[in-house]
Amino acid sequence: MIDQVEVNQQLMFDGESDEKQFLTFMMHDEEYGMDILAVQEIRGWEPVTTIPNSPNFVRGAMNLRGTIVPIIDLRMRFGISAIEYGPLTVVIVVSVQIKDQQKIMGLVVDAVSDVYSIAEEKAKDVPDFQDSDNAYFVHGLVNVGQKMVVLLNLEKVLDLSDKSGLKG
Amino acid sequence: MSIDLSQFFDVFFEESFEGLDAMEAELLNLEPGKEDSETINTIFRAAHSIKGGSGTFGFVSVSDFTHVLETLLDQIRDGQRTLTAEHVNLLLKSVDCVRGLLGALQAEEEPDLSESNELKARFEAILGGESAEEAEGEPQEDTTQALQSTTYQIDFKPEPHLFKTGNEPLYMFSELAELGQLEVTAFHDGIPDFLEFDPEDCFLHWRFFLTTSKPEQAISEIFEWVEDDADIKIEACGGLFEDDTNAAAEIDISEAADLSEPGSVTEASTPEIKAEPAPKADENIAAVQKKVESAKNTKKSADSTATSIRVGIDKVDSLINMVGELVITQAMLSQIGDQEITESSIAALQEGLTQLAHNTRDLQENVMRIRMLPISFVFSRFPRLVRDTSQKLNKQVELKLVGEQTELDKTVMEKLSDPMVHLVRNSLDHGLETPEERIANGKDPVGTVTLNAFHQGGNIVIEIMDDGKGLDTEKIRSKAIANGLISEADELSVEEVNELIFMPGFSTADSVSDISGRGVGMDVVRRNIQALNGSVEVTSKQGVGSTFTIRLPLTLAILDGQLVQVATHTYIIPLISIVESLQIDISKVSKVGKGLEVLRLRDEYIPILRLYDIFSHQGAREELDKTLLVVVESDNYKIGLLVDDLLAQQQVVIKSLEANYQKVDGISGATILGDGTVSLIIDISGLIKLSGLRRPGSTELLVDLKGEEAEPV
Amino acid sequence: MKKILAVDDSASMRQMVGFTLKKAGFDVTEAKDGSEALNLAKQQGFDAVISDVNMPVMDGITLIRELRSLPNYKFTPLLMLTTESGLDKKSEGKAAGATGWIVKPFNPDQLLAVLKKVIR
């Protein structure tokens, strides 16, 4: 009983009940969001060490304070045309649990955008994307003001062994 | 008070495993008929502690089983029973069994009780009518307890219909209070919602602590009438000895005590029913719960690191000293940084940097030393293994352990254990002769197996020696011919013949035996040791014995590497596998098969692997005469790796690429270079597989390296 | 604050007893065998001693006998933790001067309930 009370209090302190915070970033003029709790840090782009015979979206490995971290180009992961990296290009370092293993990875995106508090139940289910192979990676869609934000399912985006979402 | 016992589990498991190790070691020292009481005592105490702890922490399967062990040991200890070889065997099996049970419990799995039940039955058979004795023991105990004051925990949970039986719990409670000192707690968690609340039903239940000099029977008598209408548990949890002289005046004394504590009298006669627990107590519980939660959390985070190392305090102290020196150097350097730059400050800076380099190196060496453990951790399992195996084989064996304090890396140690077990079993099974054979050959009927460990350069060397019959070269040769490994015409030296036992699928045992059969051959042993960057060799003399020599790097965490350049990329080749590096003499390069180039180097043909090609890198030098060939050896085969250039040689700290990414073929790990960039370490045998030079599952290269048909390019 | 000396060769039991008693507001000192306990008891005073019976170096019965013979521990409650099902150990303990016994296995509540009879 006491446990229950404590848990409830915990939830109350955690802010506006069921809202979650999302970090959003831009890619190909679209705004994507990810659970902010997964984000470890945001860094500028710097050259990485190529990992031989890796998929094209794996840019290489980076030294993050002594830990070897793979860097994924999210455009390439989604099959969006590549652009040259510029001053706004950032690497979002995330920590995600993939098949019982906590992994730290870096995601290259065009630019970071904002942090929103979003009630999860407001997120709409993904409409039937007839024209996209990437629906698999999407957790839901949500409107923030005029804009639409695509909330990503990082576990699926970063599970490199799972090819089910990718064509070819 | 609510205390989460799980916080003590880790300590309990750790000490229990230690206790089992001690039991095992002592049991192996025992010779039935010659046992000394201190050895038996040590074994008894270990079993006793495990039983006590497991009972306290609720591991019933362990406490039940260890109870019979304890009983037997107690009888041996008291001289009621003489120790036999059967006892020792059974006890050793029990050690394994308890280890298994505890292992399962530690992993939060349901333990498999089939073995413990079987062993328990055998112990009970030895103990004979022990259970009957126990049954007799109980009432005896009760009568003595009548003379002492005992505290009972009584749980009383009536069925809802209790009132309808005409019983009044309150009266029972005051009756209880008359027996002695009574403490009551009422639980109201069974009270339903108001709408479902039937005022005629009983929804409360109680817990009492009663301290009384009356027998337990007196308590159960009070509840006699409601036995079938309630859950009643009466459990003795301890007591006080009455002073002998006062025993007669027992009643008077307890009355006097009651009078001196009026509070307890009122409490006892009118049990306080805590329908509404005092808010203060509630707060207290909440506070504890919180602490327990936080304790749980810290425990969880500790668990996630999986394994732990016990480090001698001296090692920690020396680390602290070194960190102290580092802090001093840092202070000195920052002081220089604050000063104006002058010639003397630059000299001081240089001196400081030298000091810093010195400190860092010392610190690195000492931190590596923390991972080093004496090899006795591996050696210690062999006395048992040798004892069991030699019994099975009807051989007499003496095991000698030399260099037990030789240290090596914990990770290496863990992976070394299995290959060593295999080699020792092999020595016992195939190496040593039966006592009859030994006597016939003029040898001591007791064979000797020696495990010897020592440091040599940056390596640890472990020798497994037996004074058995040695390898039978003729038998190996004919077997190899039969298996098509060599041809009849091959002239092989004794060493070359002995090497054949490490070939896959090779086994000289006429029948697959229980001991070293199991389809695992020496090839697996060699592969496992090579996976640790080590090597294994055999020397043998017929009739005299064999020695297997394992060489391993002291640590897996650091590697001597050769940095090489391929296009714009820097890779690291483990120095230990490099045979030589050379410029290619094009006239000695031939093409075989589908475009595979081989270099004729002295008497050998070395296949050339173009690294840029295997790793799909653009912009590397492709002309053979402008590049360098690094000849490396792995799995007894030599191959040449084509690189653009050789860079520095340096020690590198091995980091996992898999931890955050996945296994990469041809790469064994990564490291961080001086400039902070990541460099990948080449895995030679993985590379051979990747190049398609070898069929999967085979150690044979696809090309015939002795190929006479090689054509000049 | 009342001081209690808890003696057991098993670290987990020692920790459990120690933790429970500290929670209940006692000042607890732990010892891993009888001889260590005896030395501690000679150096400082304790209001009660709880000791295991089977321990290396010096067992619990010997400890209780030794303690009882010290003038400072003439009236001090000395409790023994015992798993022995037989009566021998209990009567042996009693003869050595033990105040009472606590049956192993026990849980924290049971420990405190028994302890309450001799020290509050």
Cβ within 8 Å, pair B286-A6: yes
Asked if B238 contacts C101 with a C-beta cutoff of 8 angstroms, the reply is: yes
Cβ within 8 Å, pair B241-C24: no
Q: Domain of C71: which CATH number?
A: 3.40.50.2300
User: What phi and psi values does residue B30 have, to the nearest 5 degrees?
Assistant: -75, 135
Tokens of B675: 């400039």
The answer on pLDDT for B472 being more than 50 is yes
Is residue C120 in a domain? no
Interior angle at CA B424, CA B420 and CA B426, nearest 5: 115
Asked if B451 contacts B553 with a C-beta cutoff of 8 angstroms, the reply is: no
Is residue C20 in a domain? yes
Residue type, B422: H
Angstrom distance (rounded) from CA A140 to CA A153: 8
Task: Count the residues in chain A.
Answer: 168
- Dihedral in degrees, nearest 10, Cα atoms B454, B455, B460, B465: -20
Angstrom distance (rounded) from CA B307 to CA B484: 46
In whole angstroms, what separates CA C86 from the centre of its chain?
19
Of B48, B211, B237, the CB nearest to C106: B237
User: What phi and psi values does residue B212 have, to the nearest 5 degrees?
Assistant: -145, 155
Q: Which residues of chain C lie closer than 8 angstroms to B15, CB-CB?
A: 10-12
The active-site residue out of B70, B216, B463, B597 is: B70
**Tell me, what's the pLDDT at B252?**
40
The answer on pLDDT for B322 being more than 60 is yes
Cβ within 8 Å, pair B1-C110: no
Among residues B299, B201, B247, B206, which one has the least CA distance to residue B5? Answer: B299
Asked if B241 contacts B144 with a C-beta cutoff of 8 angstroms, the reply is: no
Q: Which long-range contacts (CB under 8 A, 24 or more apart) does B247-252 make?
A: B247/B147, B250/B213
The nearest alpha carbon in chain B to C97 belongs to B241
Cβ within 8 Å, pair A52-B662: no
Mean of per-residue pLDDT scores for chain C: 85
B175 is catalytic: no
Angstrom distance (rounded) from CA B7 to CA C23: 14
3-state secondary structure of A95: strand
Cβ within 8 Å, pair B289-A2: yes
Instruction: Specify the pairing of strand B558-566 against strand B569-574.
Output: antiparallel
Asked if B285 contacts B184 with a C-beta cutoff of 8 angstroms, the reply is: no
Q: How far is CA C108 from CA B212, B332, B688, C15, C59, in A?
A: 20, 55, 62, 11, 23
Cβ within 8 Å, pair B48-C83: yes
Cβ within 8 Å, pair C117-B49: no
Q: For testing the chain B interface, which of C7, C8, C12, C62 should be mutated: the one with the most B CBs within 10 Å?
A: C12
pLDDT in tens, B476-497: 888 888 877 788 887 888 888 8
Average pLDDT for B6-27? 86
Domain count, chain C: 1
pLDDT in tens, B357-379: 888 888 877 887 787 888 988 89
B426 is catalytic: yes
Average pLDDT for B507-522? 52
Cβ within 8 Å, pair B8-C19: yes
**Tell me, what's the pLDDT at A100?**
76
Angstrom distance (rounded) from CA B327 to CA B610: 48
Of B1, B45, B56, the CB nearest to C109: B1
Cβ within 8 Å, pair A53-B286: no
Q: Which residues of chain B lie closer than 8 angstroms to A53, CB-CB?
A: 615-616, 664-666
Of A2, A48, A60, the CB nearest to B285: A2
Of B282, B290, B678, the CB nearest to A62: B678
Residue type, B81: R
**Tell me, what's the pLDDT at B687?**
86
Is residue C33 in a domain? yes
Question: pLDDT grade, residue B706 (50/70/90)?
Answer: very low
Measured between CB atoms, does B620 come within 8 Å of chain A?
A: no
Candidate from A138-142, B60-64, B163-167, B523-527 with smallest mean pLDDT:
B163-167
In whole angstroms, what separates CA B428 from the centre of its chain?
25
Place of tokens 């500790």: B302
Is residue C69 in a domain? yes
Q: Which residues of chain A lie closer than 8 angstroms to B285, CB-CB?
A: 2
User: What phi and psi values does residue C48 have, to the nearest 5 degrees?
Assistant: -160, 155
Residues of C with CB under 8 A from a CB of B: 9-13, 15-16, 19-20, 23-24, 52, 54-56, 79, 81, 83, 85-87, 90-91, 93-94, 98-114, 116-118
Domain with C99, as residue range(s), is 3-115
Measured between CB atoms, does B569 come within 8 Å of chain A?
A: yes
**Rg, Å, chain B Cα set:** 37
Among residues A107, A118, A141, A129, which one has the least CA distance to residue A38? Answer: A107
Of A1, A47, A70, the CB nearest to B661: A70
**Residue B506: burial class (beta carbons within 10 Å; 0-12, 13-18, 19+):** middle
Share of chain B above pLDDT 70, in %: 79
Instruction: Specify the pairing of strand C48-52 against strand C3-7.
Output: parallel
Beta bridge partners of residue A21, listed in sequence order: A117
Min distance B160 CA to chain A CA atoms (Å):
23
* A24 membership: H or E segment, kind and range: strand A19-27
Cβ within 8 Å, pair B676-A51: no
Of B290, B614, B676, the CB nearest to A63: B676
pLDDT in tens, B68-124: 888 888 888 877 888 888 888 888 888 988 988 888 888 888 888 888 888 888 888
Question: pLDDT grade, residue B257 (50/70/90)?
Answer: very low
Cβ within 8 Å, pair C110-B144: no
User: What phi and psi values does residue B295 have, to the nearest 5 degrees?
Assistant: -60, -40
Is residue C111 in a domain? yes
Angstrom distance (rounded) from CA B273 to CA B375: 63
Q: Which residues of chain A lie closer than 8 angstroms to B659, CB-CB?
A: 67-68, 103
Beta bridge partners of residue B191, listed in sequence order: none
Asked if B449 contacts B386 with a C-beta cutoff of 8 angstroms, the reply is: yes
3-state secondary structure of A58: strand
**Tell me, what's the pLDDT at B262?**
40
The answer on pLDDT for B139 being more than 60 is no
The answer on pLDDT for B285 being more than 70 is no
**Tell me, what's the pLDDT at A60?**
95
Q: For testing the chain A interface, which of B187, B572, B678 should be mutated: the one with the most A CBs within 10 Å?
A: B678
In whole angstroms, what separates CA B383 from the centre of its chain?
18
**Tell me, what's the pLDDT at A68?**
92
Of A51, A63, A104, the CB nearest to B677: A63
Tokens of B98: 């308890």
Select the more confidently predicted residue: B33 or B78. B78
**Tell me, what's the pLDDT at B698?**
47
Tokens of C97: 């001067």
Beta bridge partners of residue B423, listed in sequence order: none
* B637 membership: H or E segment, kind and range: strand B637-643
Cis peptide before C105 (omega within 30 of 0): yes
Place of tokens 């190996």: B476
Is residue C21 in a domain? yes
Contacts of B700 (CB under 8 A, 6+ apart): B694
User: What phi and psi values does residue B385 have, to the nearest 5 degrees?
Assistant: -60, -45
The active-site residue out of B48, B87, B422, B430 is: B48
Min distance C21 CA to chain B CA atoms (Å):
11
Neighbours of chain B (3+ CB pairs under 8 A): A, C
Residue type, B550: I
Cβ within 8 Å, pair C55-B241: no
Instruction: Specify the pairing of strand A67-73 against strand B711-712.
Output: unpaired
Question: pLDDT grade, residue B297 (50/70/90)?
Answer: very low
Angstrom distance (rounded) from CA B682 to CA B696: 19
Among residues B588, B584, B624, B581, which one has the least CA distance to residue B603? Answer: B588
Angstrom distance (rounded) from CA C93 to CA C99: 9
pLDDT in tens, B417-452: 888 988 998 889 888 999 999 999 899 999 999 999
Question: How many C-beta neighbours within 10 Å does residue A99 have?
Answer: 9
Angstrom distance (rounded) from CA C73 to CA C46: 8
In chain C, alpha helices (H) = 11-23, 34-43, 60-68, 88-96, 108-115
ipTM of the complex: 0.84
Question: How many C-beta neighbours within 10 Å does residue B636 have?
Answer: 12
Q: Which of residues 401-420 of B touch A (CB under 8 A)?
A: none
pLDDT in tens, B613-662: 999 999 888 888 889 999 998 766 789 999 999 999 888 888 888 889 98
- What is the torsional sign of CA C58, C64, C67, C68? negative
User: What phi and psi values does residue A22 have, to the nearest 5 degrees?
Assistant: -125, 135
3-state secondary structure of B671: strand
Question: pLDDT grade, residue B251 (50/70/90)?
Answer: very low
Of B289, B660, B662, the CB nearest to A69: B660
Among residues B182, B180, B183, which one has the least CA distance to residue B253? Answer: B180
Q: For testing the chain A interface, which of B289, B612, B660, B682 should be mutated: the one with the most A CBs within 10 Å?
A: B660
Tokens of B537: 């060799």
Interface present between B and C (3 or more CB pairs within 8 Å): yes
Interior angle at CA B608, CA B607 and CA B611, nearest 5: 140
Angstrom distance (rounded) from CA B658 to CA A69: 10
Is residue C72 in a domain? yes
Q: Which residues of chain B lie closer than 8 angstroms to C81, CB-CB?
A: 52
Q: Which residues of chain B lie closer than 8 angstroms to A62, CB-CB?
A: 678
Average pLDDT for B534-557? 85
Interface present between A and C (3 or more CB pairs within 8 Å): no
Among residues C57, C10, C63, which one has the least CA distance to residue C40? Answer: C63
Place of tokens 């020496």: B522
Strand-by-strand arrangement of the B578-583 sheet: B578-583, B628-634, B637-643, B604-610, B596-601, B589-592, B711-712
Residue ranges, chain A, pLDDT below 50:
1-16, 130, 164-168
Cβ within 8 Å, pair A63-B614: no
The active-site residue out of B426, B452, B459, B498 is: B426
Min distance C9 CA to chain B CA atoms (Å):
8
**Rg, Å, chain C Cα set:** 13
Contacts of B36 (CB under 8 A, 6+ apart): none
B108 is catalytic: no
Residue ranges, chain C, pLDDT below 50:
none
Min distance B407 CA to chain C CA atoms (Å):
28
The answer on pLDDT for B130 being more than 50 is no
Angstrom distance (rounded) from CA B468 to CA B397: 11
Asked if B644 contacts B659 with a C-beta cutoff of 8 angstroms, the reply is: no
Average pLDDT for B533-546? 86
**Tell me, what's the pLDDT at B225?**
62
* B301 membership: H or E segment, kind and range: helix B279-303
Of B1, B5, B181, the CB nearest to C24: B1
In whole angstroms, what separates CA B319 from the centre of its chain?
26
The nearest alpha carbon in chain C to B55 belongs to C105
**Tell me, what's the pLDDT at B235?**
83
Phi-psi region of B176 (alpha: psi -120 to 50; beta: other; left: phi over 0): alpha
Cβ within 8 Å, pair C10-B15: yes
User: What phi and psi values does residue A56 have, to the nearest 5 degrees?
Assistant: -65, -25
Place of tokens 């009384």: B212
Q: For testing the chain C interface, which of B151, B183, B207, B289 should be mutated: the one with the most C CBs within 10 Å?
A: B151
- What is the torsional sign of CA B163, B166, B172, B173? positive
**Tell me, what's the pLDDT at B516?**
47
Average pLDDT for B546-567? 86
